[in-house]
Amino acid sequence: MYMKNIKKILSWISILFLSLGAICLTLAFLLQWNMNEEKIIHYIDENDLSFLMVTKNGDTTNMMEDTKKYLLSIGIPNEAILSVINSEPTKKFVGKYTYQIFKQIIYQTGHLEITKDDIVALVKDNFPIISFSLNEQGLTFQKQQQDKILNLIDKHSDNVLDLFPTVNQFIHKMEQELLYNQSVSKFVFIINTITSKKVIIVLLIFLFFNVFFLFLLNWKQKVSIVYFRTSILFYSFFFIGIEVFLGTIVKDFLMNEWKSANRLFNYLVNVISKNLWIFILLGLFLAVFLTRILTKWKEKDLEK
């Protein structure tokens, strides 16, 4: 009786570790899947960047004021500035820039550098957008204006890096204007740790060990499957709880803190929820499959 209780306690501990290991491995996969250049550019492209023009208090951000001043200084018409900020070429550029910032902040890799050639290419890509925007307002965008803009970019090329801050300057601006605080260092540490290849390998070994240990403790197939089903259900309901938490408390908090970015927050929470539901449904399907196996075994036992 004593040994039986010990086996149960060890089995439940193993179930807990198995579930936690699977949860961590899933989070590592989701982070790596979503935090790449292609995904970040896609997420930015799907949203309106005009929310960057105001702080969570509704005031115009210094970052946006700097951007507008620079765009005006190189000859971009004031009437077309919002269209330029929300254009596809600009969003792609911002996505690449954001990805490089993430790489440096989280992984301390990569080299963030904006050159005059990058700005020239960006502005040229925006010429059709500027022309279309001005035409809608009864204005024209002439060849002379385009040449003037390119000449002014060359003249103001030394100010390019002032417009696009270094990583440290970016963090400082975020601390002052957005939803950034000291706890981000902990967040960065967690992401850096959980997406580390060494940690992922350790998690895989840890999961394999727990599976082997459960089979060793419970050599009868029925008992082992019951424990595995319990672990899978714990895993699934954990992520259901996370999904509900993100869709209610987190979303409401972010939307109340920075109302101008509500569309972005709603979009990102929906993306995360969609990703989570893939794993939730896989877990529930596997749990149902194991339940079906146990039911058939019970039916066979009754027939004997």
Q: Provide the Cα torsion 181, 185, 191, 192; round to 10°.
A: 150
Tens of pLDDT, residues 174-210: 555 444 455 556 666 777 777 788 888 888 888 888 8
Q: What are phi and psi of 190, to 5 degrees?
A: -65, -45
Can you tell me which residue has the tokens 């309106």? 48
Model confidence pLDDT, tens digit, residues 147-168:
888 888 877 766 655 656 555 5
Beta bridge partners of 60: 54
**Taking a C-beta distance cutoff of 8 angstroms, is the pair 84, 76 a contact?**
yes
Tens digit of pLDDT for each residue in 249-296?
777 776 666 666 666 677 777 888 888 899 999 999 999 998 888 888
Which pair of tokens denotes residue 242? Answer: 């996370």
Q: How far is CA 230 from CA 19, 173, 182, 208, in A?
A: 9, 47, 38, 17
Nearest to 273 by CA among 30, 72, 77: 30
Contact between 194 and 27 (Cβ < 8 Å): yes
pTM over 0.85: no
In 3D, which of 273, 265, 253 has the Cα closest to residue 51? Answer: 265
Question: Contact 105/167 with Cβ under 8 angstroms?
Answer: yes
Contact 15, 234 (CB under 8 A): yes
User: In the predicted model, is pLDDT for residue 134 greater than 60?
Assistant: yes
CB 48 within 8 A of CB 241: no
Contact between 229 and 11 (Cβ < 8 Å)? no
